[in-house]
Amino acid sequence: MLRLVGIGHALPAIEVSTEFLAGQISEANPYPWIEFRRTTLPLEYIEATGNAEPAQAIVVASESPTSLAVSAVRLALERAQLDPDEIGLILAGGATPRQTTPSEAQRIGKLLGLKVPAYDVCSVGADLALQISSLKKWKKSRIPRYVLCVSTSTATQRVNYRNGSEAFLIGDGACACILSTAGKEGFEIVSAQHRTDMVADYHSSIEIYGHLRIVQPAFKDWYSATLEKELTDFFGYEKGSPTSVCCEQLVAEQADLIRSCTAEQVQICCETGKFGYLLGPGGFLALSMKWDHGIECSSVVVLSGGVGQSFGTVSLKQ
């Protein structure tokens, strides 16, 4: 049995308002429910250059994917009341790594002073769901007592702030989960599932040294259909079962879709309007934001998905 015993998040300090973006971009805003996003880029840099050359963004950025990840990990360790050297395995992922070798997981381990197995397991949108669903398939005897799972992204460093609507959607951030095979603290991981749509036409791309592109309305149509199918297929809750759903809002009608497919007594936890879409941390960031204040419902469902044409669902129970 796997349990979520600690969770942490990290967000850069710089805030990008819709009002600011309206002065930079002529495109219409398809995400009016997002008022602010967090970025690692100075606003002066965005205003002066529009981030025409993403390679320059790395030079001026206040944070890297790794530094955000380590901040999230330290909060997760504090909440789990663990020391870093108690971690026995690191799984990490992200949409915008600075390098592929060493892996993001290895870079995180180095900054934490750990010499343990460390691998990148990512899906651009549902990293943590993929990592957790993979661990659920392992033999219990092969899983260390404590496993660190991380998703981190600095996708605003790949956004064109002159053309396209991506700037209205994207934010930067990281989330870290500590899983345990022992104890009764935290949440039991009841089930975890991850899917990647290999059939649908690609509606997004991240150029190796260029910009992130999202094709609208193809992305909206794919996400809405996938969310409804995932909720209908995956969740077997009886009507009336109180459930917290932690997610990111990527389409306007998302709340109605969730309520129509899940329990009547559903509490939706979403932070997209304050921080933007983070390409990985997903609904786990919403769960982390509520961790210290307590979760009212005994059942929690975390939804993650997006531009990588991947979707993950993780069901937790207190």
Same domain, 264 and 170: no
Query: Which of 117, 148, 180 finishes a domain?
Result: 180
The answer, yes or no, to whether residue 208 has pLDDT greater than 70, is: yes
The answer, yes or no, to whether residue 27 has pLDDT greater than 70, is: yes
Same domain, 203 and 75: no
Same domain, 96 and 220: no
3-state DSSP percent of the chain in helix, strand and coil, to 5: 35, 25, 40
Same domain, 219 and 297: yes
Distance CA 168, CA 159 (A): 10
Same domain, 263 and 152: no
Could you tell me the residue range of the domain that residue 242 belongs to? 187-317
Largest CA distance in the chain: 56
- Mean of per-residue pLDDT scores for the chain: 91
Looking up tokens 């669902």, which residue turns up? 313
Same domain, 78 and 175: yes
The answer, yes or no, to whether residue 242 has pLDDT greater than 90, is: no
Residue type, 148: L
More confident residue, 90 or 309: 90
The DSSP annotation for 117-154 comes to -EEE---SS-HHHHHHHHHHTS-GGGS-SEEEEEEEE-
* Domain CATH for 282: 3.40.47.10
Same domain, 305 and 224: yes
Contact 7, 284 (CB under 8 A): yes
**29-62 as b/e: b if 16+ CB within 10 A:** ebbeebebbbbbbeeebbeeebbeebeebeeebe
The answer, yes or no, to whether residue 142 has pLDDT greater than 70, is: yes
Domain count, the chain: 2
Same domain, 111 and 224: no
Q: What is the pTM of this model?
A: 0.94
Specify the pLDDT at position 235.
Answer: 64
List all residues 6 or more positions away from 62 whose beta carbon is below 8 Å from its beta carbon.
Answer: 12, 13, 14, 40, 41, 42
- What is the per-residue pLDDT across 59-94, written as a single tens digit (0 to 9) for each? 999 999 999 999 999 999 999 999 999 999 999 999
Distance CA 278, CA 98 (A): 16
Mean pLDDT of all residues in 129-150 = 95
Same domain, 211 and 279: yes
Give the lowest-confidence range in 103-107, 117-121, 136-140, 220-224: 220-224
List all residues 6 or more positions away from 234 whose beta carbon is below 8 Å from its beta carbon.
Answer: 191, 193, 313
Query: Which of 132, 159, 180 finishes a domain?
Result: 180
- What is the per-residue pLDDT across 254-279, written as a single tens digit (0 to 9) for each? 888 888 876 657 888 999 999 999 98
Specify the pLDDT at position 238.
Answer: 45
Query: Which of 180, 199, 231 finishes a domain?
Result: 180
Same domain, 57 and 37: yes
* Residue 98, number of CB atoms within 10 A of its CB: 14
Same domain, 31 and 174: yes
Same domain, 63 and 89: yes
Mean pLDDT of all residues in 188-214 = 84
Q: How far apart are the first and last CA of the chain?
A: 13
Give the lowest-confidence range in 70-74, 129-133, 279-283: 279-283
- What is the per-residue pLDDT across 144-175, written as a single tens digit (0 to 9) for each? 999 999 999 999 999 999 999 999 999 999 99
